[in-house]
Structure 1
Amino acid sequence: MTVLESLQPREVLSFFETLAGIPRGSGNEERVAEWVVRFARERGLEAVKDDMHCVLVRKPGQGGLEDAPPLILHGHLDMVCEKEEGVSIDFENDPIRLVVEGDYITADGTSLGADNGIGVSYILALLDSKDIPHPPLEAVLTAMEEKGKYGAGRFDTSQLTGKRMIDFNWITDKEILAGCSGDVTMTIDVPAQWEDAPATHPEARLLKVRGLAGGHCEFDIHLERANALLVLARVLTRALDELDVRIADPTGGAQNNAIPADAQVVLALRPEDVAGVEEVVARVQGELEREYERADPGIRLELEPAEQPERVFSAEAGARLARLVSLVPNGVISWNLAVPGRVETSNNLGTIRTTDDGARLMSTITSALTSRKHEVFDRVRALAALAGGGVGVEQYGLDAPEFAYEPDSPLLKVASEAYRDVIGEEPEVEVSQCSLELGIFSNTLGLDTISIGTELHDLHNPKETVSHRSVAKVWPLVREVVGRLGR
């Protein structure tokens, strides 16, 4: 018996369980894309996969809607891979271990992949169905959505003939999403000016930032949670200002669009500076406990013995990296005055990795206004120019446009009427601060677009959950909406 076998609807959750068994972190979608192609061809459906591992599946209409205008279905194959401290998993090869806790499905110590595995499962169930009336379907399953929307940016949209699109990458069953922000991701490369670890610095310590809540860079950005990279830079800046410290191997964060919950760096020290570093760490720990008592109460700094690194950043390059990280705009930048209570523009400094040349940061700017998004990008470029030392800033992936709200959308009208008839309530129509791939397709093809969601919590986080009762609530709505699209 499988973990989800006793839950309904089986025609959806069985696919979700299958997807959980296929590693599919961003950039590792080849196996899941190949599985989707096999699934489709076994059912006699046309399926193609591109070089980015995006998949397009076509299915003829059925149930009297064979001659209706085509409908595009959209979801993304990849997931954000996060894990709790102490959990052993190889996200490149190991499956996600599912757990049922009451009304919710979660994972054993890792992110779940319900974002967007549940949405993809609705699409697979429609493609698999033989008795659900629907128009001809063009199912687009993109790759690397969670990492710069790279797959959608490279997808050949000329293959699509539909003028209506339903996306399934939304997070609640109480709303129909009818508008959202756009985003752009950047890399910031900081040269290390590598030097051999000096003989005067034989002591080494590993400085770790742990215990942070993390979260989604759009849905959680306004919660004022700590950013592990900024915390790390704060400690480094204090230590570099007061002591003769060299750094090596900075790393932190899981992905550009997840608020980083952990970070670490190796410190090469003179023996006489060890006590000073310990004092700096203790001082900053006390400050953080007071500052994040409500927003991130688990935050902690750890300092432990480490092997002396073979090479370190030069003193100048180490200070440049720490100060640059401290100054990159992060968090909420402006609020949306047209949609009260919504963030208009934000930035998430998501990851740092050691490279052959030094360190690379990845950061994602999200905004309801393209011009404001580009203004923040320009500010980071200006900061890099002032930093000097060969610091470079480049766009990574797609400059994804916002998806503009169209209140007179025919598809929104059909979906709202179906929601009232199936759910028995009036749906909320949401214009969100998040950035999805909807603007990429809608703006390019002039599509009438909506997104239908399921109750998800703690996205991009080891606490991620999906309500299986919500899946059971949404699946009849999905069937009803596609069955009404005969014109």
Structure 2
Amino acid sequence: MSEEIRNLEPKQLWDIFYALTQIPRPSRHEQKVQDWAVKFGENLGLETIKDEVGNVIIRKPATAGMENCKGVILQGHLDMVPQKNSDKDHDFVTDPIDTFVDGNWVTANGTTLGADNGIGVSSALAVLASKTLKHGPVEVLLTATEETGMDGAIGLKGGLLQGDILINTDTEEEGTFSIGCAGGIDVTATFKKKMTKKIPKKLSAFKLKVTGLKGGHSGVDIHLGRGNANKVFFRILKEVNNAFGVVLADIQGGSLRNAIPREAFGVVAVKTKKADAFIEKVSEMAEIIKAELVLVEPDLLIEVETAGMPESIMKKGFQKKLTRAVWAAPNDVVRMSDSMSGTVETSTNLATVKAGKENVVVSCLVRSFSETAKDALASRLESVFKLAGASVVLDGSYPGWQPNIESEILEVMKNLYSDQFGKTPELLAMHAGLECGILGSTYTNWDMISIGPTIKFPHSPDEKVNIETVQKYWDFLLNTLENIPTK
């Protein structure tokens, strides 16, 4: 069904987006899509550069009579978040995305769609391909590995870009202009596993499964109060361990640092004579948690099924420390902004809990508009995990983007939008890691703004993009490029 999106308007944009969906491009597997973007620019006869960190830059000269306009950089990221439903057979490294039209939306079959940021990338490339658009000097900057560390933005060297105005294409609500964003830092706690192969006799093993949660973007969706599969899992584990001495053998919770975890799976063991009571307790807790989350997580499913006996189980002391630390660690919105009503200032997402051969690794992503609040919350998480005996690394820190309400391009675009659509756009400081903060720290002269069509549920298999708003976004982008201020 994928090709039906090629019949949508604006056709050139959707054709390019279709091509993107056919190129596997999860973060850190971007060579093919980078090569495709380079070839795209070269086939148009445009100056095309790929830098040492994988960013692709393509330059298009001004159309006749507009050479004196300020230079515009259209910017998006080439990678996408690889999330799929547990029953979906899909390899993001090798398989294309299967898209389809669902009423007024384009979505994917059981996987993330990649509209984040594929639609923005497609619009920038469609500008390059257009033979009728009037514009000043245009550069397209397609960054690498945004979703798992903003590597491209961090590695971009000064002096490569010549423009004056950056239009980022990663905002996900049409009619909203993003003029600021939160910074972030990764907190990674590593617990050295303490296991025993001396498994008591007369134990029964089970798989404890938490599924059906919505997940979503750990910044954009963090205020929605969605369930966190890791928190749900360890809440249950703590209770059944206290009541029945349930022991943990394995845990695999969440998948990506910047996605609210939708699923968690663990292998546990309990004395056979207590197995029925254990199952009943899990069922009881499932009903309690489902009742708490019923309005936001109607499809939450907590299940117990019989499993083979593991070769080893966690030692009691180690399990207690791990369980208490994960359950105690801050998660969700920590503070709302005092200056921007209704905006999250500081949050953290307990993203993954993964048991390997030697360690259990817990990863969290802290976000904040305040550098000091960001560092304080990271320190708080560090304290929780160190108290439980883990080693903790704080890394990947990136700056936020401070709003500039005196921005020239903001004023120009506000007026253009009001004239074109008869309403004033909303201004947003986004609780997500737009690359503008990092890019603006290298290119301090840039006047920056971010726009885009309406995309719902990014970073989850429910991701979808609204067709009507893609057309509206495209029309407004063309209008903006035709009315860029002169130097």
TM superposition score category, shorter chain reference: over 0.9
Letter in 1 for 2:405: P
Q: Per-residue deviation at 1:67?
A: 4.9
* Alignment equivalent of 1:436, drawn from 434, 437, 449: 434
* Structure 2 residue aligned with 1:251: 252
CA contact (8 A) 1:148 1:396 kept: no
* Structure 2 residue aligned with 1:26: 27
* Structure 2 residue aligned with 1:473: 472
| Cα distance in 1, alignment partners of residues 230 and 206 from structure 2 | 18
CA contact (8 A) 1:289 1:297 kept: yes
Report the TM-score when normalising by structure 2: 0.94
* Structure 2 residue aligned with 1:84: 85
* Structure 2 residue aligned with 1:189: 190
Mean CA deviation greater in 418-427 or 124-133: 418-427
* Structure 1 residue aligned with 2:421: 423
Alpha-carbon displacement from aligned partner over 1:358-411 (angstroms, at most 9, x marks no partner): 2112211111111101100000111122112xx1221343x2211111111111
Letter in 1 for 2:383: A
Structure 1 gaps of 5+ residues are none
Mean CA deviation greater in 42-51 or 184-193: 42-51
Letter in 2 for 1:130: K
Residues 138 and 212 (structure 1), Cα distance of their counterparts in 2 relative to 1, 3 Å cut: same
CA contact (8 A) 1:253 1:259 kept: yes
Q: Per-residue deviation at 1:85?
A: 4.1
Letter in 1 for 2:412: V
Structure 2 gaps of 5+ residues are none
3-state SS, counterpart of residue 435 of structure 1: coil
Q: Aligned pair 1:402/2:403, yes or no?
A: no
| Cα distance in 2, alignment partners of residues 376 and 47 from structure 1 | 42
CA contact (8 A) 1:98 1:108 kept: yes
CA contact (8 A) 2:157 2:442 kept: no
* Structure 2 residue aligned with 1:452: 451
* Structure 1 residue aligned with 2:208: 207
Letter in 1 for 2:94: N
Alpha-carbon displacement from aligned partner over 1:114-145 (angstroms, at most 9, x marks no partner): 11111111111112223322232232212222
3-state SS, counterpart of residue 87 of structure 1: coil
| Cα distance in 2, alignment partners of residues 249 and 477 from structure 1 | 51
| Cα distance in 2, alignment partners of residues 229 and 170 from structure 1 | 28
Alpha-carbon displacement from aligned partner over 1:223-280 (angstroms, at most 9, x marks no partner): 2111100001111112222333332331122311111111011113332342343133
Alpha-carbon displacement from aligned partner over 1:137-180 (angstroms, at most 9, x marks no partner): 23221222222323322222442232320000001111221122
| Cα distance in 1, alignment partners of residues 158 and 144 from structure 2 | 14
3-state SS, counterpart of residue 295 of structure 1: coil
CA contact (8 A) 1:201 1:268 kept: no
| Cα distance in 2, alignment partners of residues 238 and 257 from structure 1 | 28
Measured on the aligned residues, the alpha-carbon RMSD in Å equals: 1.9
Identity of aligned residues (%): 34
CA contact (8 A) 2:6 2:18 kept: no
3-state SS, counterpart of residue 209 of structure 1: strand
3-state SS, counterpart of residue 215 of structure 1: coil
Alpha-carbon displacement from aligned partner over 1:317-356 (angstroms, at most 9, x marks no partner): 2222211110111011011111111111111111222223
Q: Aligned pair 1:325/2:326, yes or no?
A: yes
Q: Per-residue deviation at 1:484?
A: 1.9
Alpha-carbon displacement from aligned partner over 1:408-430 (angstroms, at most 9, x marks no partner): 11111221222233333322222
Letter in 1 for 2:428: E
| Cα distance in 2, alignment partners of residues 378 and 415 from structure 1 | 40
| Cα distance in 2, alignment partners of residues 32 and 227 from structure 1 | 32
Letter in 2 for 1:412: L
Mean CA deviation greater in 414-423 or 121-130: 414-423
| Cα distance in 1, alignment partners of residues 157 and 278 from structure 2 | 54
CA contact (8 A) 1:175 1:427 kept: yes
How many pairs align?
484
* Structure 1 residue aligned with 2:13: 12
* Structure 2 residue aligned with 1:284: 285
Letter in 2 for 1:84: N
Alpha-carbon displacement from aligned partner over 1:19-41 (angstroms, at most 9, x marks no partner): 11111122222221111111112
| Cα distance in 2, alignment partners of residues 64 and 57 from structure 1 | 21
* Structure 2 residue aligned with 1:217: 218
CA contact (8 A) 1:81 1:254 kept: no
| Cα distance in 1, alignment partners of residues 189 and 404 from structure 2 | 36
CA contact (8 A) 2:251 2:355 kept: yes
Residues 443 and 304 (structure 1), Cα distance of their counterparts in 2 relative to 1, 3 Å cut: same
| Cα distance in 1, alignment partners of residues 156 and 309 from structure 2 | 46
| Cα distance in 1, alignment partners of residues 159 and 187 from structure 2 | 27
Letter in 1 for 2:355: T
3-state SS, counterpart of residue 346 of structure 2: strand
Letter in 2 for 1:459: P
Residues 479 and 376 (structure 1), Cα distance of their counterparts in 2 relative to 1, 3 Å cut: same
Q: Per-residue deviation at 1:197?
A: 5.8
Q: Per-residue deviation at 1:282?
A: 1.7
| Cα distance in 2, alignment partners of residues 201 and 18 from structure 1 | 57
Letter in 1 for 2:353: I
3-state SS, counterpart of residue 252 of structure 2: strand
- Aligned 1:368-383 pairs, distance under 5 A: 368-383=369-384
Q: Per-residue deviation at 1:457?
A: 1.2
Alpha-carbon displacement from aligned partner over 1:73-99 (angstroms, at most 9, x marks no partner): 211112222223422211221111111
Q: Per-residue deviation at 1:201?
A: 6.4
3-state SS, counterpart of residue 120 of structure 1: helix
